[in-house]
Amino acid sequence: MEKAIVLYPSEGRGHLIAMVELGKLILKHHPSFSITIFVLNTHSASTAQHVASSTAQYIAAIEAATPSITFLHLPPISGVPSTLFPPELMYLVPRLNNPNVHQALQTISHTSKLKAFVIDFFCDAAFEVAANLSIPTYYFFTSSASSLAVFLYLPTLHKNLDKSFKDLNHMLIDIPGLPSIPASDMSKATSDRSSKVYEYFLDSATHMAKSNGLLVNTFELLERNAIKALSDGLCVPDGPTPPIFCIGPLILSCNQDGDDHQYECLNWLNSQPSRSVVFLCFGSMGLELFSAKQLREMAVGLENSGQRFLWVVRNPPTDNNDKEPDLDELLPQGFLERTKDRGFVVKQWAPQAEVLSHGSVGGFVTHCGWNSVLEAVCGGVPMVAWPLYAEQKMNRVVLVKELKVALAVNESEDGLVSAAELEKRVRELMESESEAGKEVRERVSGMRDAAVAAVKGGGSSHVALAKVAELWFTSTSTSTC
């Protein structure tokens, strides 16, 4: 019987890509493994058509290029409320899929030796399914080690605090291995201790501490302090911490997304001077959160900055997000004409990994999603941190204060970032005489070299993945499916 590894990502293209890259690396160490990746099938109304289409295209390309990786689409589920808070929905969908997961694991175990079940943080509901089947279970944490430290420490914070984070305002929260984080910057999903999603996070932290190991998409030199705190057991003071394997950066390789299309924006970048362009992109979800007013402020800020720019624009949330945006209607009158010699506006989507690896790109205004951060670090591109949702405000604190690879934007009470603020930060990042920009440029350049070294033979991430892959390969444990 062949030796099988099952990977279970949560919804979202970024989570899927990270799991696929993990599967590819596992096969490099042990090509005899068979890899099965579970794919959630919800037909969610919130999943924009262009995102679903690009994901299907990506899966087809991976299946064609890597026969040892198989995608198992779980049966569709019904009765998923569309009105739930997104993080609660991300937990609920895998929970509703537990019967499907149980059946799939049993089926695989009948024909293969199931050596490990690797689940996403949001797929925590499957932990008990795997435990009942005696399958060794690992978590793949696609966010930062800093975020992992926060989540593992959450039960301790819950015990020590008697108020929700949302009621603590700007009180500083101390977490092992991290700079102090204002309570207002903690993930919105954990802001209310009476909420269902907060309960999910507490349960996940407990299960993660009981798992066989935690695989983290980071590398040692990038998050040295957080990783040390985790490895020293400081984030789980009341019990043992499972082994930590830092195996990143795992990012989508350029030209590996199944799309051979020659993007016009890449051709435009080819004609721009080295490190002269600031790239603005906010993830597949973040792009849909900007109001028409915010888009106009961004346009004014970019125009006044005088910098070359590549900007991805999508319709505001009240509009049809599957419809191409009308740039003449959304942006200030004459903006496109006035900036045509130094700016390029892309509708809906751009090949971010390829853009960030392009030699003409010298800055990145980002929502601080961890995949995006890693792509920027690997490209040696300094950042302006503009968080929008999830754990991104925590990421901003770490990126700016700890890692020093980003400058922070300041938003108003209602979340609006003014044209003047964006102009200021873009100038600081891109202008050669800016001391703040110089510091982050030098810092991220060093981290780029460290990222390359980490995944090479003998590098820290290469060694960590080899260790866990060998552990799976030689393990004598078997499931009771």
Residues assigned a catalytic role: 15, 120
* Separation of alpha carbons 49 and 54, rounded Å: 9
Q: How many CA atoms lie within 13 A of 461 on its CB side?
A: 25
**CB contact at 8 A, 26 and 138:** no
**CB contact at 8 A, 227 and 145:** yes
Picking from 141, 139, 173, 180, the residue whose alpha carbon sits closest to that of residue 156 is: 173
Token code pair at residue 361: 């790109």
**CB contact at 8 A, 184 and 136:** no
> Which stretches does DSSP call E strand in 360-454?
361-366, 383-385, 406-408
Token code pair at residue 471: 């552990």
Token code pair at residue 137: 């279970």
* Separation of alpha carbons 187 and 393, rounded Å: 7
Chain-centroid distance, C-alpha 361: 21
Residue 14 φ then ψ, to 5°? -60, -40
**CB contact at 8 A, 69 and 46:** no
Strands 181-182 and 172-173, sheet pairing: antiparallel
**To which H or E segment does residue 150 belong?**
helix 145-160
Alpha helices in 347-434 (DSSP H): 352-356, 370-379, 392-397, 419-430
Q: How many CA atoms lie within 13 A of 170 on its CB side?
A: 0
Residue tagged 């990270």 (tokens): 18
